[in-house]
Chain A
Amino acid sequence: MLAFLVKRTANAALVMLTVAFMAFMIFRFVGDPVEMMLNEQATQAERAELRERLGLNDGFAMQFVRFVTNALQGDFGISYRNQQDVMKLIGERFPATFELVIVATILSLVVGIPLGVITAIHRDSWLSDTLQMTSIVGVSLPSFVVGIVLILIFSITLGVLPAFGRGDVVQLGWWSTGVLTPSGRAALVLPAISLSLFQITLVMRLVRAEMLEVLRTDFIKFARARGLPARLVNFRHALRNCLMPVITMTGMQIGNLIAFALITETVFQWPGMGMLFIQAVTFVDIPVMAAYLVLVSFIFVAINTVVDITYAVVDPRLREDAAR
Chain B
Amino acid sequence: MTQPVLSVRDLRVEFPTRSGTLVAVDGVSLDIAPGEILGVVGESGAGKSMTGMAVLGLLEPPGRIAAGEVRLAGARIDNLDERGLERVRGREIGAIFQDPLTSLNPVLSIGDQLVETIRVHTRCDRRTAREQAVAALTAVGIPAPTTRIDHFPHQFSGGMRQRVVIALALCANPKLVIADEPTTALDVSIQAQITALLKRLCKEHGTAVMLITHDMGVIAETADRVAVMYAGRLAEVGPVLDVIREPRHPYTRGLMGSIPSLRSRVDELVQIDGSMPRLDRMPPGCAFHPRCPDAGPRCARERPDPHPVGTGAVACWLEQGGVNGG
Contacts and interface: CB of A to CB of B under 8 A. Distances in A.
A13 B12 CA distance: 64
Nearest to B105: A219
B86 A223 contact: no
A219 B86 contact: no
A218 B58 contact: no
A240 B112 CA distance: 13
Contacts of A223: 105
A317 B108 contact: no
Contacts of B86: 227-230
Given A218-B97, A227-B120, A241-B106, A316 B152 contact: yes
Nearest to A315: B107
Given A226-B168, A227-B172, A240 B107 contact: yes
Interface in B53-100: 56, 58, 82, 86-91, 94-95, 97, 99
Contacts of A66: none
A125 interface: no
Given A225-B56, A230-B86, A219 B152 contact: no
A237 B107 CA distance: 8
B286 interface: no
A122 interface: no
B88 A219 contact: no
A227 B116 CA distance: 11
Interface string B98-133: 010011111110000000110011000000000000
B58 A221 contact: yes
Contacts of B90: 225-228
Contacts of B56: 225
A257 to B, nearest CB: 27
Given A227-B86, A316-B154, A317-B152, A240 B116 contact: no
Nearest to B180: A225
A217 interface: yes
Contacts of A237: 105, 108
Contacts of B103: 218-219, 222
Interface string B178-217: 0000000000000000000000000000000000000000
A224 interface: yes
Contact of A232 (B116, B121, B168): B116
A31 B29 CA distance: 88
Interface string A312-324: 0011110010000
A252 to B, nearest CB: 21
Contacts of B117: 226-228
A108 B263 CA distance: 58
Contacts of A218: 97, 99, 102-103
Interface string A227-266: 1111010001100110000000000000000000000000
A228 B99 CA distance: 20
Nearest to A321: B154
B89 A226 contact: yes
B175 to A, nearest CB: 13
Contacts of B120: 226-229, 232
Contacts of B107: 240-241, 314-316
Interface in A40-58: none
A236 B88 CA distance: 21
A227 B105 contact: no
Contacts of B108: 236-237, 240
Nearest to B87: A227
A240 B107 CA distance: 7
Given A221-B58, A222-B165, A320 B82 contact: no
Contact of A225 (B87, B95, B104, B121): B95
A227 B97 contact: no
Contacts of B91: 227
Contact of A317 (B94, B106, B165, B172): B106
Contacts of B121: 227
Contacts of A314: 107
Interface in A210-224: 217-219, 221-224
A146 B280 CA distance: 53
A241 B105 CA distance: 8
B316 interface: no
A219 B102 contact: yes
Given A221-B97, A224-B58, A228-B116, A317 B89 contact: no
Interface of B: 56, 58, 82, 86-91, 94-95, 97, 99, 102-108, 116-117, 120-121, 152, 154-155, 165, 168-169, 172
Given A219-B104, A241-B107, 7 more contacts: A222-B104, A226-B90, A227-B87, A227-B117, A227-B120, A228-B86, A228-B117
Interface of A: 217-219, 221-230, 232, 236-237, 240-241, 314-317, 320
In the A-B complex, the 9 residue pairs with the smallest Cβ-Cβ separation, listed nearest first, are A227-B90, A225-B95, A227-B89, A218-B102, A226-B90, A316-B152, A222-B103, A219-B105, A226-B117
25 contacts: A218-B102, A218-B103, A219-B104, A221-B58, A222-B103, A222-B168, A223-B105, A224-B58, A225-B56, A225-B58, A225-B97, A226-B117, A227-B86, A227-B89, A227-B91, A227-B121, A227-B172, A230-B82, A236-B108, A237-B108, A241-B105, A241-B106, A241-B107, A315-B107, A320-B154
